[in-house]
Amino acid sequence: MSQQHMHETNLFAAIRKFVQSVRAGIDPEIATLAAATSALPLKNLEHWERFLSWERYRAWQLAAPSKWTLLFRQKPGPTWLDLCSEDGYLREKTLRALKHGAPNAFFFALALRRLNDWVPQVRAAAREALPDIASHTAPQHVAAALCALLPNWTSWGRLEATEQETLMAISAQDEVKRALKDSLIASPSGPMVAVLAQLGRKDTLDAYLQDIAKRAIQPSLRAKAYRCLLEGRMTWLAGREWEWTDIRRVQKHLKPIHGTRALSIQAAFPDMAWQAAEDRSPIVRRVAGEMLIRDWEKTGQAPLRLVRQLAADTCPSIAARGRFLLDKLEPPPA
């Protein structure tokens, strides 16, 4: 049995048990459903949302109502599972009714996806409810959901400036900021560079950039943090637009659009360059060489000892940058 099939089997059993308790008029126990969804990967949320929607419908059809439910006509209140309902009215009602935190990162990610819902009223309800839901949810769950969604949120076709502000406001909550910083530092894989770039739209993590540059496990993330500190700005992918390459042949391609913002903090350039040059990864040391060349083109100066260290680097591309600067600072005799 494949891992995905095992997840689907466990999830259907949890959904059926949950729906049966709701149909029986019993206060549903979310723990079983939360345990089943906690094991799901957050990288394929669209698939799991469709799966939940369909299995929820099947479970409601299969669950036999008790005689007490029929007698008193009890109507169960909205639950976290109703975020996947095919009924837009129920999705909106659920968002407005949820006054407590999400049980795990999966359900909070589903709630965040309602910012891209095709029903405008559901998006409005998500904008109003999500900040309060986030404040009552464990910060590590909020951080995990944001890390899963932010790398691809620029492809959400219905996401407007108001929805973007809602997401940024959630990420700016104090406990969430610290949880995001810890997640970025501790993550050994995944699109953490894209997460840091998207969070850079606001000064959410500016104060933590030096800590991320020193301690992050991923070399590419340390390189991104050092680049931002050395440049004094943050750059992110804001979206894509079509650009004609040959209008006569009706050929075009998607052109990336980048946004830029100056950092709210200032870091000493020589100190950051030294730290980057002494990093264990050539990816980070290459950034130090590149930024030294760029700074030399502006100021005509560069720390000679650091340049010599780069020129002696074991990585050929870094050594080439160091030798280039060394030739400029110490021209060979004619």
How confident is the model at residue 47, as a pLDDT? 87
- The tens digit of pLDDT for each residue in 165-211 reads 999 999 999 999 999 999 999 999 999 999 999 999 999 999 999 99
Cβ-proximal residues to 99 (8 Å cutoff; 6+ apart), any chain: 132, 136
Give the residue carrying structure tokens 């059926």. Answer: 16
Backbone angles phi, psi at 257, to 5 degrees: -115, 125
How confident is the model at residue 28, as a pLDDT? 66
How confident is the model at residue 67, as a pLDDT? 53
SS (H, E, C) 280-309: CCHHHHHHHHHHHHHHHHHHCCCCHHHHHH
Q: Which residues of the chain have pLDDT under 50?
A: 70-73
Q: CA 153, CA 13: separation in Å to the nearest integer?
A: 31
Task: Using alpha carbons, select from 51, 35, 46 the residue that is nearest to residue 110.
Answer: 46
How confident is the model at residue 292, as a pLDDT? 93
Could you tell me the CA-to-CA distances from 191 to 45, 111, 205, 221 in Å, in that order?
16, 21, 17, 9
How confident is the model at residue 26, as a pLDDT? 64
Q: Tell me, what DSSP letter sits at residue 156?
A: -
How confident is the model at residue 71, as a pLDDT? 46
How confident is the model at residue 196, as a pLDDT? 97
pTM of the complete model beyond 0.75 = yes
How confident is the model at residue 74, as a pLDDT? 52
